[in-house]
Amino acid sequence: MIWVDQTLREGLRIGMDRGKIDSVVKLLQHLQVWMIDVNGKDWHKYNLPSLTTLQKKQLRVRVNETVEELECAYEVGFEKFIFACTLTPGGDLTPPMNALAWAAEKREVNIGLCIENASDFSLAEIEGLWRAVSTMGVTTFIYSDGYSRLNPLSTFKILTSLREKMPIALEFHAHNAYGLATANAFGAMQAGVKYIATAVAGVGVQGQAAMEEVMMIQKRLLGKKNLETETLSYSCSKILSSIGVKLPATKAIIGEDIFAHESGIHVDGVLKNPQLYEIFPPEEVGATRKLVLGKHSGTASIQAKLQQRNIVLSDVDAQCLLKQVRRLAVIHKKAIEDEMLWKMYQDWVV
């Protein structure tokens, strides 16, 4: 599977610190992400000097189909290009021929054609469009669901059919207006598509498939058990902070609270066997489990917390303390810290 990063592109759009670009590229490399998209216009906005060797190798530039923009990107050293175009449904489906002709002359460059609103067209229309450009040196065809029209099953059907008919590298860009981007990317993966666009936490203007989710889906649900994911939480949160986005604590896979358990039934279960309420262990993504005390706690949490201080509490006593913990959580409208429990216990023993 080749993941095509869209996180840096969003970072540049929202004005990330230019000094952090290379560290994001390196963090992505560490996660085995070797292709990183940026928008030509945003890149130029930063007035950066020519591309470094690292950047030349990893970055791919998105331009709209004007030749000026292309030349501009070519001059600073980009070697991989995407022509991104939105076509008019019902109109004449003309791909960006000028740009393609320009690119065809520069044979050393790598060219992808992205139809931003591909899901607005029938399969026959997409195939017709492909035939029109197949002689122009396009190396990758990018099917983008720009307006989030697809669901996972329709994505699977469309891409299965396109793969049969188009002998070219096929790439899929999911979007997230309805929260389906990850599932749609998964549909494309199931259809055998090898190039999948993703962004950490799904960040992006129309939303993207979340990188950490598709990676763990590949590992856990599609059986690629040997994928190394022990640094996933760390790398993803570092990438997000580098571009200036705060990660929500409950973000699937990488949020800092997704292995925090509070409710009585869950804590009791996790203490007996974590698999009861965790589909993978926290260590697998480099996270740690937490037991949180609050309104929903049960006696098992109280007993487990005091056990850490070598105190064995009977069920009846734990029940007594639990009532106080719950009441306090409601009054303060938040979880109870371990120190607070300890203080409550000491007051209560006296």
Partner 1 sequence: MMMQERKIKIVDTTLRDGEQSPGIVFSAQDKLRIAMALDQAGVDFIEAGVPIMGEEEQEAIKLILAASLQAKVIAWNRACKEDILASIACGCSLVHVSVPVSDLHIRQKMNKSREWVIAQLRESIALAHSFGCTVTVGAEDASRADMEYFLQVAEVAATMGAIHIRYADTVGCLTPFTVEAIFQQLIPRCSLPIEVHMHNDFGLATANTLVALDAGVTLASTTVAGIGERAGNASLDEVVMALHRLYDIHTGVDVRTFKTLSELVMQASQRKNFHYKPVIGDLFSC
| Sites of contact with partner 1 (CB under 8 A) | 149, 151-153, 156, 176-180, 182-184, 186-187, 190, 201-205, 207, 210, 213, 216-217, 220-221, 245, 248-253, 255, 257-263, 265-266, 268-269, 272-273, 275-279, 290, 292, 294-296, 323, 326-327, 329-330, 332-335
CB of 49 to partner 1, least distance (A): 31
Q: Which is nearer to partner 1, 166 or 335 (CB)?
A: 335
Note the helical H segments in the chain.
7-13, 21-30, 40-45, 53-58, 67-75, 97-105, 123-133, 152-165, 181-190, 211-216, 232-243, 264-272, 299-307, 315-332, 338-349
Proportion of the chain in helix, strand, coil states, percent, rounded to 5:
50, 15, 35
Q: Which is nearer to partner 1, 173 or 261 (CB)?
A: 261
Q: Which is nearer to partner 1, 80 or 261 (CB)?
A: 261
Residue with tokens 């019902």: 90
What is the Cα–Cα distance from 3 to 217, expressed in whole angstroms? 13
CB of 92 to partner 1, least distance (A): 28
Over the range 252-273, which residues count as b (16 or more CB within 10 Å of their CB) and which as e? ebbbbebbbbbbbebbbbbbee
Q: Which is nearer to partner 1, 29 or 206 (CB)?
A: 206
CB of 152 to partner 1, least distance (A): 4
CB of 330 to partner 1, least distance (A): 5
Q: Which is nearer to partner 1, 265 or 311 (CB)?
A: 265
Q: Is the dihedral of CA 159, 208, 232, 338 positive or negative?
A: negative
Q: Which residues contact 350 (CB under 8 A, 6 or more apart)?
A: none
CB of 321 to partner 1, least distance (A): 13
CB of 12 to partner 1, least distance (A): 16
Q: Which is nearer to partner 1, 89 or 248 (CB)?
A: 248
Q: How far apart are the first and last CA of the chain?
A: 62
